[in-house]
């Protein structure tokens, strides 16, 4: 243990990042920048080839940073046997839900099974993927000990949840505090040594279960509060008030209030998924997490509310949704990124298509809609011009990218349904702008 800790402190350790996506790639860059040799492992051969060519496949990560990492020794591979070269293995793979909205740990367990034959003494394995309390002990520990390793003695196991905020200009792996839980105290010491050379603030906790629950609490907190403002948005519209004006006014209170903002539904790799990891686990303890599930129901229903607003807006203009040309602005789940995981835009497109609308979309960050587990629209981004705005019967704003010029959209669109409050209410907008 002391030898391994010494290697981390002296930056002589090799860091293995398993899963080179929105979490793993920034983490790789951070470890590399502070002087560690980093080995990236990913099953996607296309990603591996692009990284080794000095290219980036994530919009907010410049290719120049990948190129610099390559020049300083970073290498990507699909060969899991090379895990033996690493002193630390950090797992950053997806943890989605299955079709029944139950946790799907196949990416995590499959990754550990692929690594297991190549594990050696004096390594640390850290899981960063979001999951339910108990996963590290119940799923990872038995797989590692089956290889003959003694966790806490000749092998070390920690859980340290990712807190990545894609596209953020203020937060990155360096300055986001890092929660760490170890299976044993020895594991925790090694885990702290692993991360403290790259992360400014570490938050050690008593166990892997506590660290797992911490991540879920963070995202459940957001899910519940977003559900609250989504519900109030519907009420405020019915009562003739602007929920965004209400939130702005409430946010002037210097204590006891934190602003959350409504939208067309939840998106991304965390908020729509993570709460269900806890509700599923809670059933094993005969606990019904009613508050969490209610928030999920409200947020899941928001795309249906948005489509109802589109129908009302078209009806006011003497048109039916069936056969209407609807141009949706934004396929990403949040502004200024190319991340479309769990984006509510896809559900909006599905509902529009089911009701017979002729749909198109524009997103400056997503030129082609990727085929996913649930959706395959086969669409490419429509250029946003005076003509494309004017020809659409309705513009549906689903993502508030900075690239969108509210004045330009308002000037040329016939009808706008705005779910992100980017078009200001004005005399010019009367009759053509609908908030949703």
412-426 per-position pLDDT tens digit: 999 999 999 999 999
Query: Which pLDDT does position 103 carry in this prediction?
Result: 86
* Cα 422 to Cα 406: distance, rounded to the nearest angstrom: 6
Domain assignment of residue 198, yes or no: yes
The 10s digit of each residue's pLDDT in 115-159 is 999 999 999 999 999 999 999 999 999 999 999 999 999 999 999
- Which of 226, 159, 264, 190 lies closest to 7, judged by CA? 190
Task: Give pLDDT tens digits along the chain (436 positions).
Answer: 888 999 999 999 999 999 999 999 999 999 999 999 999 999 999 999 999 999 999 888 999 999 999 999 999 999 999 999 999 999 999 998 877 777 889 999 999 999 999 999 999 999 999 999 999 999 999 999 999 999 999 999 999 999 988 777 888 889 999 999 999 999 999 999 999 989 999 999 999 999 999 999 999 999 999 999 999 999 999 999 999 999 999 999 999 999 999 999 988 777 778 787 888 888 889 998 998 999 989 999 999 999 999 999 999 999 999 999 999 999 999 999 998 988 999 999 999 999 999 999 999 999 999 876 677 888 999 999 999 999 999 999 999 999 999 999 999 999 999 999 999 999 989 999 999 9
Report yes or no: 333 and 267 within 8 Å, Cβ to Cβ. yes
Residues 132, 230, single domain; the answer is: no
- Which of 169, 157, 104, 156 lies closest to 130, judged by CA? 104
Q: Which of 206, 235, 252 marks a domain boundary?
A: 206
Domain assignment of residue 216, yes or no: no
Q: Which of 92, 187, 236, 270 is catalytic?
A: 270
Residues 187, 251, single domain; the answer is: no
- Which of 152, 157, 121 lies closest to 139, judged by CA? 157
Residues 189, 97, single domain; the answer is: yes
Residues 240, 94, single domain; the answer is: no
Domain assignment of residue 362, yes or no: yes
Which domain does 339 fall in, by range? 222-435
Q: In whole angstroms, how far apart are CA 218 and each of 177, 179, 275, 332, 365?
A: 13, 12, 10, 22, 28
Report yes or no: 260 and 229 within 8 Å, Cβ to Cβ. yes
Residues 151, 247, single domain; the answer is: no
Tell how many helices (H) and how many strands (E) occur in the chain: 15, 13
Q: What is the pTM of this model?
A: 0.90
Number of structural domains in the chain: 2
Domain assignment of residue 217, yes or no: no
Residues 194, 250, single domain; the answer is: no
Residues 290, 382, single domain; the answer is: yes
Query: Which pLDDT does position 373 carry in this prediction?
Result: 64
Residues 287, 177, single domain; the answer is: no
Residues 157, 189, single domain; the answer is: yes
Q: Is 394 a catalytic residue?
A: no
Query: Which pLDDT does position 266 carry in this prediction?
Result: 84
Domain assignment of residue 189, yes or no: yes
Residues 197, 294, single domain; the answer is: no
Q: Which of 206, 233, 250 marks a domain boundary?
A: 206
Q: What is the CATH number of the domain that holds 192?
A: 3.40.50.720
Q: Which of 158, 173, 206 marks a domain boundary?
A: 206
Residues 169, 243, single domain; the answer is: no
Domain assignment of residue 74, yes or no: yes
């Amino acid at each position: 243990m002391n030898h391994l800790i010494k290697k981390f402190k002296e930056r002589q350790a090799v860091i293995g990042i398993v899963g080179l996506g929105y979490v793993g790639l920034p983490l790789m860059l951070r470890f590399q920048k502070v002087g560690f040799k980093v080995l990236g492992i990913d099953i996607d051969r296309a990603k591996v080839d692009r990284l080794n060519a000095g290219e980036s496949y994530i919009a907010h990560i410049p290719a120049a940073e990948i190129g610099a990492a390559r020049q300083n020794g970073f290498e990507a591979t699909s060969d899991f046997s090379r895990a033996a070269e690493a002193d630390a293995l950090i797992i950053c793979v997806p943890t989605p839900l299955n079709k029944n909205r139950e946790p799907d740990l196949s990416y995590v367990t499959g990754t550990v099974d692929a690594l297991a034959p190549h594990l050696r003494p004096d390594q640390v394995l850290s899981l960063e993927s979001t999951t339910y309390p108990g996963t590290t002990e119940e799923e990872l520990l038995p797989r590692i000990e089956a290889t003959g390793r003694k966790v806490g003695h000749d092998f070390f196991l920690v859980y340290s949840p990712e807190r990545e905020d894609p596209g953020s200009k203020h937060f990155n792996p360096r300055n986001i505090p890092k929660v760490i839980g170890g299976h044993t105290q020895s594991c925790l010491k090694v885990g702290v040594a692993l991360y403290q050379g790259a992360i400014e603030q570490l938050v050690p906790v008593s166990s892997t279960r506590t660290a797992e629950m911490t991540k879920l609490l963070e995202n459940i907190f957001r899910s519940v509060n977003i559900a609250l403002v989504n519900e109030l948005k519907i009420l405020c519209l019915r009562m003739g008030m602007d929920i965004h004006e209400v939130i702005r006014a409430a946010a002037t209170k210097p204590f006891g209030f934190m602003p959350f903002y409504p939208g067309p539904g939840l998106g991304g790799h965390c908020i729509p998924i993570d709460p269900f990891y806890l509700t599923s686990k809670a059933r094993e303890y005969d606990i019904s997490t009613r508050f969490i599930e209610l928030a999920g129901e409200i947020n899941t229903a928001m795309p249906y509310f948005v489509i109802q607003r589109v129908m009302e807006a078209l009806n006011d203009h003497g048109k039916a949704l069936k056969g209407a040309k609807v141009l949706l602005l934004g396929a990403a789940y949040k502004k200024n990124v190319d991340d479309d995981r769990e984006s509510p835009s896809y559900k909006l497109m599905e509902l529009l298509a089911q009701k017979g609308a002729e749909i198109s979309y524009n997103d400056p960050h997503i030129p082609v809609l990727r085929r996913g587990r649930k959706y395959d629209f086969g669409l490419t981004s429509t250029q946003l011009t005076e003509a494309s705005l004017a020809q659409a019967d309705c513009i549906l704003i689903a993502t508030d990218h900075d690239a969108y010029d509210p004045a330009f959209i308002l000037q040329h669109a016939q009808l706008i349904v705005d779910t992100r409050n980017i078009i200001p209410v004005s005399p010019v907008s009367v009759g053509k702008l609908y908030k949703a």
